[in-house]
């Protein structure tokens, strides 16, 4: 399973991820492939709006910090991220290649509940089809660290758990942190699977 965090070392100190000390450190060194949990503040990790930070790695090197994205105005944070990647490709501001897309997000990508594509399906499309082309000139191995399952009730979290399984089956590495599941969601998931 993918490593949830690796604290950066500076002058022999091991800052706690998410701490002010970790956020104040020097920028990430090229080739340092980690999930920077400190990119989201405590309020963002626990906030109502879905918030994510993302980076692109190319050949083990930091290729581009993509910034933070937040849900709002009818778009989810993941929609905004995928749209931004499309803009970078369309504008010629991202070299062709196979990238590792590292996403830290406060709740897992949503799945489809009756119509339309959820964020999980859009991420699966990105992982399987890439961007540019045809054929795709930009492909992505996606790594996601999510704090919680998406959804405000057990049924929504059960659908989110199914979306997590679909993403993992599609080759997306996804690790859930604390608060990822509850008994109500487990029961609802069991009902969905029978």
Helices (H), 130-171: 154-169
**Structural tokens at position 52:** 């994510």
* Residue 10 pLDDT: 30
> Residue 22: inside a domain, yes or no?
no
* Residue 44 pLDDT: 73
> Residue 119: inside a domain, yes or no?
yes
> Residue 16: inside a domain, yes or no?
no
* Residue 129 pLDDT: 97
> Residue 10: inside a domain, yes or no?
no
* Residue 115 pLDDT: 62
> Residue 23: inside a domain, yes or no?
no
* Residue 194 pLDDT: 62
> Residue 148: inside a domain, yes or no?
yes
| Range(s) of the domain holding residue 177 | 33-193
Residue bearing tokens 């690790």: 175
* Residue 183 pLDDT: 60
* Residue 172 pLDDT: 97
| Regions of the chain where pLDDT drops below 70 | 1-39, 45-47, 113-116, 178-190, 193-194
Provide the domain count of the chain. Answer: 1
> Residue 66: inside a domain, yes or no?
yes
CA–CA separation, 97 and 94 (whole Å): 9
* Residue 79 pLDDT: 95
Buried b (16+ CB within 10 A) or exposed e, 176-191: beeebbeeebeebbee
Share of the chain above pLDDT 70, in %: 68
> Residue 144: inside a domain, yes or no?
yes
Q: What CATH number does the domain containing 71 carry?
A: 3.40.140.10
């Amino acid at each position: 399973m993918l490593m949830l965090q690796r604290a950066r070392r500076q002058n022999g100190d091991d800052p706690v991820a998410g701490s002010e000390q970790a956020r104040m450190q020097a920028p990430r060194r090229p080739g340092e492939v980690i999930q920077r949990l400190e990119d989201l503040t405590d309020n963002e990790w626990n906030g109502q709006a879905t918030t994510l930070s993302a980076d692109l790695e190319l050949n083990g090197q930091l290729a581009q910090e993509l910034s933070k994205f937040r849900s709002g105005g009818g778009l989810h944070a993941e929609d905004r991220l995928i749209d931004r990647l499309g803009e970078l490709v369309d504008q010629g501001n991202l070299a062709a290649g196979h990238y590792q897309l590292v996403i830290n997000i406060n709740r897992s990508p949503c799945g489809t509940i009756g119509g339309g594509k959820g964020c999980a399906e859009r991420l699966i499309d990105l992982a399987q089809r890439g961007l540019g082309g045809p054929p795709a000139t930009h492909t992505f191995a996606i790594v996601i660290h999510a704090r919680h399952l998406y959804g405000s009730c057990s049924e929504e979290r059960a659908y989110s758990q199914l979306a997590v399984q679909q993403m993992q089956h599609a080759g997306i590495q996804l690790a859930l942190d604390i608060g990822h599941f509850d008994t109500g969601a487990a029961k609802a998931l069991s009902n969905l699977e029978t």
